[in-house]
Chains A and B, each alone.
Chain A
Amino acid sequence: MDAKLNTDVACNDREVWLTALYKKAFPLVATHVCRMGGSFDDARDVFQDALVIYYEKSTQRELTLKHSDKAYVFGIARYLWNKRYKESTKQLSIDQLNADFDEEAGLIDVAKQEISSSRLFKLLQTAGQKCMELLSAFYYEKLSMEKVGERFGFSGPRSATVQKFKCLEKIKETVKEKSLSYEDILE
């Protein structure tokens, strides 16, 4: 079996892992999309969405990996291609596609609002960047507190846990204050 995603990989390792998976799986997706009449850009778009979905499912432990990572990414990309370009003329968001994929695969559907364009999100990307990076390592990448501690230079998992909750408190307060003043969190 191909090397599977180790969810505790460090940033540099993630680039190595991504590059290797890109080289293994993208030719399959490009061949399929090309045969179905799609362009290079179409292949790139569905492949990159498939990588995001595969990564998120892997970190959430929602996949029991019985096949190679290449096979999973290809399967997801093929599904996305069929959904996006054959069944629908409109562009669907990745959250919608992710939800549809979950429905098909019998996975849990967590509805999410598109919030990346909000003023609040932009503020958090700049003013709250350090905390967002730490929280993302734990809540998105699902790294252990040991790994979070190593990445951010804390003395140990206990110290990392304390900082994580301080950041959660700070960001939550910002979200509340700014949402009430901007009123655009869901714009």
Chain B
Amino acid sequence: MKTSLNELLLIEDFLLTNPSGEEKTLMQARLLLQPELQESIYWQQKTYRLVETYGREQFRKEITEVHRKLFTAPEHLSFRQMIMRLFSK
């Protein structure tokens, strides 16, 4: 069964903002009435972690590409030589 938009929003607010004591109590009450919500929270949290990991990997690829350019492109020769001199001593 697909997750409703309201449920996605409810869980997002609960997981990604700092819920107040009152909001936590409300969520506990919801979980008592709707135990399957616990599982939905679990999968949404996993989804956020996967998205963060994806974002981090994309950022790492960008960093690697910048490094490659800095250490191969002719316009960055003086920068490259300055760094390499450090490690040639």
**A residues with CB within 8 A of B:** 14-15, 18-19, 22-23, 26-27, 30-31, 34, 39-40, 44, 48, 51-52, 55-56, 112-113, 115-116, 120-121, 124-125, 132-133, 135-136, 139-141, 165, 168-169, 171-173, 175-176, 179, 185
Contact = CB atoms under 8 A, between A and B. Distances in A.
B30 interface: no
Interface of B: 2-3, 5, 8-9, 12, 43-44, 46-60, 62-67, 69-70, 76, 79, 82-84, 86-87, 89
B86 to A, nearest CB: 5
Contacts of B58: 133, 136, 140
Given A52-B56, A173-B2, 4 more contacts: A18-B63, A30-B83, A168-B8, A171-B50
Chain B CB count within 10 A is highest, among A26, A116, A139, for A139
B62 A125 contact: no
A18 B83 contact: no
Contact of A40 (B9, B47, B87): B87
A34 B87 contact: yes
Contacts, number: 111
A15 B62 CA distance: 7
A34 B66 contact: no
A136 B54 contact: yes
A55 B55 CA distance: 11
B19 to A, nearest CB: 15
Nearest to A185: B46
B54 A132 contact: yes
Which of A34, A168, A173 has the most B CB atoms < 10 Å from its CB? Answer: A168
20 contacts: A15-B66, A19-B66, A19-B69, A31-B86, A34-B87, A48-B63, A48-B67, A52-B60, A52-B63, A120-B50, A121-B50, A121-B54, A124-B50, A124-B54, A132-B51, A135-B54, A169-B5, A172-B3, A172-B47, A175-B43
